[in-house]
Amino acid sequence: MPLHLITTQQPQQLKDCLSNCNCGDAIVLMSEAAALAASAIITTSKLSNIEIYQLEKEEELTPTRDRHRGISRKIDMAELVNLTTQHNPIVSW
């Protein structure tokens, strides 16, 4: 079960990531990618078996009205480290 780390705000990378995700994968939106939290790509995709996380410290980059759209939950750095121990491989986009 891979862990996908998305660090850029480019929608195509998110689309590519989602097209490569399978049941049990996890996605973490980091850095500039936090702005993708409100993306229609996330909210309209069939993601019932994929967890999408956002680092709490990146929340200020997400528009207030859309902060919880498409995100399974917010995580801190300790939880990110825990995810890296539970998933293999770790894929950066």
* pLDDT tens digits, one per residue of 11-58: 888 888 888 888 889 999 888 787 776 665 665 555 667 888 888 775
Which two three-digit tokens encode residue 79?
């939880």
Cβ(53)–Cβ(72) under 8 Å? yes
Q: CATH number of the domain at 3-92, please?
A: 3.40.1260.10
Residue with tokens 């939950």: 73
Q: What is the pTM of this model?
A: 0.79
Contact, 3 vs 80, CB < 8 A? no
Q: How far apart are CA 7 and CA 4, in angstroms?
A: 10
Domain residue ranges in the chain: 3-92
How far is CA 1 from its chain centroid? 14
Round to whole Å and give the CA distance between 50 and 71: 10
